Structure 1
Amino acid sequence: MAAYGKQDFADICEHYQPLMDEHSVTTKMLKSEFILDKSYAAARTLRMPQIFSGILCDTERCKQYKGLSILFEIYLVLAVNTAVCERGFSCMKRVKNDWRSCLGTEQLSRLMFSSIEGPSMDNFDAAGAVEKWWTLGNRARRPGFNPWQKEQEQEIRDDLYEDLVLMDQETEQEENVRQEAISDELGLEAENVAAGEKRLAEALG
């Protein structure tokens, strides 16, 4: 009986030693309290829940078994399964969907907490929340107000300006081509006139 669970308890003490150090509880103290508590439980044929409650609910025994009481408190907050975590992941998937992928960590945490711990939609009165949202904003809530209107108008003006510049460049290029064509035609006519005058002079001479 004295050796039963000794190695398992030693592994537990080693695992939680950093937490025990914060409360000035040594491994030697835990082992001695464990042996005393086993003897106490064996003499009274107590089950594990009774051992837990007997130490945690009795002030005197809690002082007597200081190390074990801290260890029991740690075990009482450990989750017995991962269902809570899985529900949290499912909630996060519902809240942070494709349309709300830019949610920050703080806001996501608030929305998840409201979804998991908050009241059901049937029992929730949204009047207070809507009133607070309507009155405490940085600006008045105006239906139909577009905060990006100026940016959108500026983008339209920039696009129009680029189109006008492009049209001017195309017009200038077309004018240059036309002037070059006229110059070529005038040059060709001048050459023809000069050639005709030369032939006429040769014929008269």
Structure 2
Amino acid sequence: MGKTSGVKAKLSESCPWLISVWCMPHRLELAVMDMLKKSNLSQEVMDVLHLLYKTYHYSPKSRRELKAVAEHLSVKVRNPTRVRGTRWTPHVEKALRILLKCSSPGSTGQYAVVLEHTEHLASSSRSAEVKGRSITVAKRMRNFTFITYAHFLLDILYIVRGLSETLQSNKAILPTVMSALKTAVSQIENLSVKCLRNSSLQQFLNLVHRHQGQGHDPTEFKFQGIALKGMPGEAADSSDLTTLPGNILAAMRTTVELIVTGIRERFDNLLCSADDIQGPGASKAVACFTVLNHDTWPEHDMELLTHGEADIEYLIQWFGPLLKSNDCDVEAIPYQWNLLKTLVHQEFQDKSYSGLWTVMLTKEPYKNDFKDLLQLVQIMLVLPVTAAQCERVFSAQTRVKTDCRSSLATETLEDLIRISSEGPPVCQFQPEAVAAKWMNSSTRSRRLAYKGWPGEVS
């Protein structure tokens, strides 16, 4: 996709109207990874998760001891998962959720089990590496600042995971992606002042607040039975995060600023309006396509009359050579645009985004009355907002073409990959027709009950 001399640059020479879209889930991943690297507390949490993974992934003895401690405390535990390397952000969220998980708020959970076993390794391990690693992990896990921030980071990653899943969906379309991005940014920005409802941080702070409300000293609070160090003198209110200690609040606000800035930088053409983008370019063309989302159209007739005129004119200008090569009457598009707005406002306000354009593109007389304008709609509908499906196809190829099936014909391999990536689930597969075709495809009769010659039957 090189901007200067790569595929994008070469194709743009012959197709100046080309719109290149970098894989959106990867761009989101880069924004989150930048935040994790630049935030000191985030890096501490990542280091602890990584050290725990190393401790239990490479040592069957440590896994057995962890399970023994869990059985003694009547807790179900899972092995810590990997958080570094070529992993999607949801894997980081999963690893953090496993560490903080407990059956009910205030009860003993995996965090307490892991800490108890880590302190055991710190005092009894003969390996200097394991001993030093365990001392570092145990010290951090007993710190109030660390565990508070870990809950906060889990809430951020929960929002990011939902956004990532939306961006990876095969059904993702431009308005859906734009709405998901704006919602995620707003939710993350709100985390600097208020917890999400029923979020991990809210449940943790409620435990601290309840402990103080019962007349106990806040510094004696225990999380999953663990006495924490660095407890503040007063419990914070989950509805007002400004009551948190200054160092924690500053770290949380820095994290929010870093991730929001990263998302805005990488998705500026989807988060900004066309008027905010300076100069011509593909980014402005993408922003102009948002005018085709009828949910954002004004209700007042006079405002609706002039709505989107500049955006449609820019799209005509940008895609002019492509439209003219397909026998499109570009002069008729503005008139058809005004007719379409009035029609949709009067008859199709109850239609969804995809439902509206399905009707317009397939039903008479709409597909003929708006045939020139609908060419812009078709361009918008085929904009690739994600390349996650391509990644899934590569994974499917790895599963299908193993060392034992390395001689598969190209046509057979392609068919199997398409079935794996695009076909229905196995539970919906009806084998009767396939079995009947196989039974009747041979020149000789199939003998399903054949067990071999008498000497071959055991």
Question: Shorter-chain TM-score: which interval?
Answer: 0.3 to 0.5
What TM-score do the two structures reach when normalised by structure 2?
0.24
Higher relative contact order (CA 8 A, sep 6+): 2
What TM-score do the two structures reach when normalised by structure 1?
0.46
Which protein shows a greater Rg?
1
